[in-house]
Structure 1
Amino acid sequence: MTGPLDGVRILDLSSNFMGPYATLLLADMGADVSKVESPEGDTTRGIGPCRNPGMSAIFLHLNRNKRSLVLDLKSESGNAALKRMIRSADVLLYSLRPKSMARLGLSYENAREINPGIVYCGVHGFGQNGPYADRPAYDDLIQAAVGMPVLQSRKAGPPEYVATAIADRVVGMAATSAVSMALYRRERTGHGQEVQVPMFETFAHFVLGDHLYGHTFSPPIGDWGYARMMNPDRRPYRTLDGYVGTNIYTDRHWRRFCEITDHPERADDPRFATVQARTENIAVVNEFVAGVFPTRTTAEWLALLVEADIPIIEVNTPETLLDDPHMKEVGFFVDQEHPTEGPLRTLGIPQQWSETAPELRYPAPRLGEHSTELLTEYGFSGSEIDDLLSSGAAQDAATPPAG
């Protein structure tokens, strides 16, 4: 057994970031993920640096531990092949709009008729019972819709997006959780079900827990926005020779910091004596702390604050993180020899499991690399596979597209 989801068969009809991130997490936990791609392949195959076309850095990180099957779902035989695979799958996860799935004859009603035990998970832009149901959505749109750029603007000027696909990845994690819980319920009851994970609502749930703030109450008893999070001085602190991140958060942290910096008078100042008071006066707190840190080097501050048990860490770049001593010791970055892409640096599996420990099993696949293999495992005969390949309804890495 390799991973807690060993034996779970997932048909992954998603592309881009959100759905593939969800199935990456499931695949890392041992699920057998068949990445069903169109003949053109996942869009992310072309995003970022690459050694060979279709095998970009972004794709490699999102699609390890999966196998690629190319099916043209708009063709009659390709569509029929997928429906046949649904019979013995545990999960179907997709990121098309639900109406597109219905046009392909792949709605939940269609899938349930084929396999009543299927866990059918849609990750799409908006809840299907609202007026935005049919709209397309991407990470930037959802960040904007939930107010993330405006929250950022209270720190940094004009509205701006967070510099990572945060909505895609948060919603992808939510989909992973939803699929796992639906599988758990199926184990207990024998019943499959449909689970919809809309981006807008899921990301709003993620953001507004911090930032609904005074509007939590009706009528409001204050402004929206968690003041500490939005303060423009909430940023890494410059030291004599670099930057550090620190959270002088609890009352104990604050008292120790005041002692270390020879400012004992600030420990009992009513403006700063409690978490609530420091939150209300966060601009003054941040100004004081920012003025203190340039007096010592990063190494000196790390030694002092670690000894005092005050949270602190050196600011890294993605490049310097590769040499972080903790990451090296836990083996987070794994050197991998990809069969076509050569030596790669991949991200390890962060969790530690006492049993059913997950592993890195497959490198990210070439387009259609496992088409024949997967169709065989799902019960197709050699002649049936040959027919699918020759007609162009399926495609493998060794077979050029039909026509």
Structure 2
Amino acid sequence: MNAPATTATSGREGPLAGVRVIDMSTVVMGPYAAQILGDLGADVIKIESPKDTVRNSTQYRNTPGMTSLHLNVNRNKRSVSLNLKDEAGHDQALRLISGADILITNMRIGALRRLGMDYDSLAAEHPHLIYAHAQGFRPDSERADLAAYDETVQAASGLLDLAERAGDIGSPAVLPSIFGDKVAALTIAYSTLAALHHQRATGQGQLVEVPMTDTLLAFNMVEHLQGAVFEPPMSGTGFPLSMNKGHRARPTKDGQVMIMPYTPQNCRDLFRAGGHPELAEDPRVNGEVLDARAHGAAIAELIESVTPNLTTDEWIEVCTKNSIPVGPVLKLDEAAEDPYVRQGHLLDLGEHPSEGSYRVVGVPMNFSATPASVREHAPIPGQHTDEVLDELGQGGQR
């Protein structure tokens, strides 16, 4: 079971203890990646400007900049306020970078070059540095300098098209989640860990580029390339099960339930439990597998003709007994209060020194020997500037 989110486990350090990360990124993609590394035990120093969108775009309670999004995406970090266009601030940032293992930035390449903080400029003097550059598009493409946000990346990756085709909604709709940013953040995290392994073995750093559009496109195409993976194509794009308009929650006698019968036997057991054993003889549910491309819509209609016969709780009991995938359809606030979430400490209450009680999004992975944890609350802007700059006089340069 996960330990409470706001308490380090038995004083043991996370697996990245001793690794230093400079987070010179804004909004969500880079900061979320750095937060993950911080949860894993890295010392993350955030060089930031008060203009960061995360600090200004959502609600705050007491202190300007201490927004609801910032409280979780910038936890386990030390905040240093530096003006990179000022000579002193620029020099201090370079000295911090020189003592780091990893630098994460999503600044545009032109701005980085003007600051002398692009990869080529830094690698010449600091060959050990892992330089993770997150951007919307590949830097060698004609779109390199275009602004990119989650909504535009969802559109460019084909995700809006998938949502429209599956939902029959009439016009492409953005997924109600910062999907591209978070998928790219996960990619940054595991890519920098791979580079860190190489650095530890050889002493050499490297440039790690993670374009959001490429990342989300590759993510989508795992299953949705479908028959178009072959040349010539055997069929169009779109994973049949996911694109099936019956791929949704089912009505019950007293509400809704998510039932996903993935096998013919699942369907037959469901029909019998729902009081329609004759449907179990339907040839469309008596093959070796369910053919979602040919019969997905028809099978969905059969299922939805049966599910209103039992209550949600009755269906959960029936499906659990017959190993049919099932789950309640919870509102977002209900999911936050679910016993499973509570027992796993996935949304514990923390007590922030300036902001008071708040919900801490827990660390979702477990390590038996080097547990990840939320050790430090998100800082106020510039909270650790003096502390960190004092350290520069104590071996801050390599």
Residues of 2 paired with 1:291 and 1:262: CA distance?
A: 11
**Which is worse superposed, 40-49 or 204-213?**
40-49
Equivalence for 1:215: 228
Does residue 214 of structure 2 align to residue 201 of structure 1? yes
Residue of structure 1 equivalent to 2:264: 251
Q: Which residue number in structure 1 is paired with residue 157 of structure 2?
A: 146
Q: Deviations over 1:189-237 (max 9, x none)?
A: 1111111011111110000112222221222221111122122222212
Structure with higher RCO (Cα < 8 A, 6+ apart): 2
Runs of 4+ in 1 over 4 A off after TM superposition: none
Superposed CA offset, 1:48-76 (max 9, x none)? 22203211111112111111111111111
Find the counterpart in structure 2 of residue 391 from structure 1. Answer: none
Residue 355 of structure 1, CA deviation? 0.5
Question: Structure 1 residues 261, 87: CA separation in 2 closer, same or farther (over 3 Å shift)?
Answer: same
SS of 2:291's equivalent in the other structure is: helix
Deviation by residue 1:145-166 (Cα, 9 ceiling, x = unmatched): 0111111111232111111011
Task: Provide the C-alpha distance between the structure 2 equivalents of 1:302 and 1:349, rounded to a whole number of angstroms.
Answer: 28
Matched, 1:228 2:238: no
Q: Does 1:313 align with 2:327?
A: yes
Aligned length: 380
**What's the CA shift for 1:127?**
1.0
CA deviation map 1:282-311 (0-9, x unaligned) = 111111222222222211111111122211
SS state of the match for residue 361, structure 1? coil
> 2:284 is paired with a residue of what secondary structure?
coil
The offset of 1:276, in angstroms, is 4.4
Which digits, 9 at most, give the CA deviation of each residue in 1:67-120, with x for residues without a partner? Answer: 111111111111111111122100001011222211111011221123210100
Q: CA–CA distance in 1 between the matches of 2:156 and 2:237?
A: 15
Among 322, 336, 339, the alignment partner of 2:350 is 336
**2:54 corresponds to which of 27, 38, 44:** 44
Q: 1:356 to 1:378 in 2, by over 3 A?
A: farther
- Asked if 1:296 corresponds to 2:310, the answer is yes
* 1:184/1:118 CA distance change after superposition, 3 Å: same
Give the equivalent residue in structure 2 for 1:173. 186
CA contact (8 A) 1:125 1:135 kept: yes
Q: Give me the whole-angstrom Cα distance separating, in 2, the residues matched to 1:270 and 1:216.
A: 30
Cα separation, 1, equivalents of 2:291 and 2:278: 15
2:74 counterpart (32, 52, 63): 63
Give the superposition deviation at 1:328: 1.5
Residues 332, 350 of structure 1: 8 Å contact kept: yes
Q: Mean alpha-carbon deviation: is it higher for 263-272 or for 24-33?
A: 263-272
CA distance in 2, matches of 1:373, 1:86: 16
Distance 2:129 2:377 in 1: 27
Work out whether residues 272 and 281 of structure 1, in 8 Å CA contact, stay in contact via their aligned partners in 2.
Answer: no
What one-letter code is carried by the residue in structure 2 that aligns with 1:377?
E
**Residue 389 (structure 2) aligns with:** 375
Specify the SS of the correspondent of 1:128: coil
1:259 deviates by: 2.9
**Distance across 2 between alignment mates of 1:251 and 1:111:** 59
Residues 256 and 378 (structure 1), Cα distance of their counterparts in 2 relative to 1, 3 Å cut: farther
* Contact map agreement 1:210 1:225 (CA 8 A) in 2: yes
Amino acid at match of 2:36: L
**Which amino acid is the alignment partner of residue 39 of structure 2?**
D
The one-letter code of the counterpart of 2:382 is G
1:398 — aligned with what?
Answer: none
Q: How does 1:78-93 map to 2 (within 5 A)?
A: 78-93=89-104
Q: 2:6 — aligned with what?
A: none
Identify the residue that residue 120 of structure 1 maps to in structure 2: 131
Paired with 2:389 and 2:377, the residues of 1 have a C-alpha distance of 19
Q: Does 2:18 correspond to 1:17? A: no
Aligned to 1:5: 16
Matching residue of 2:168: 156
Aligned partner of residue 275 in structure 1, secondary structure: coil
Structure 2, unaligned stretches of length 5 or more?
Answer: 1-11
* Identity among equivalent pairs (%): 37
Unaligned segments of structure 1, at least 5 residues: 382-403
Give the equivalent residue in structure 2 for 1:32.
43
Deviation of 1:279 after TM superposition, in Å, equals 4.1
In the aligned structure 1, how far is the partner of 2:185 from the partner of 2:289? 34
Q: Secondary structure at the match of 1:206?
A: helix
* Residues 146-155 or 210-219, more deviating: 210-219
* Shift, 1:380, TM fit: 6.8
Give 1:265 shift. 4.0
Report the Cα distance in structure 2 between the residues aligned to 1:271 and 1:145, rounded to whole angstroms.
Answer: 37
Partner residue in 2 for 1:393: none
Match of 2:341 in 1: 327
- Kept in 2: contact 1:47–1:59 (CA 8 A): no
Seen in structure 2, the aligned counterparts of structure 1 residues 185 and 267 have a Cα distance that, compared at 3 Å, is farther
Aligned equivalent of 2:379: 365
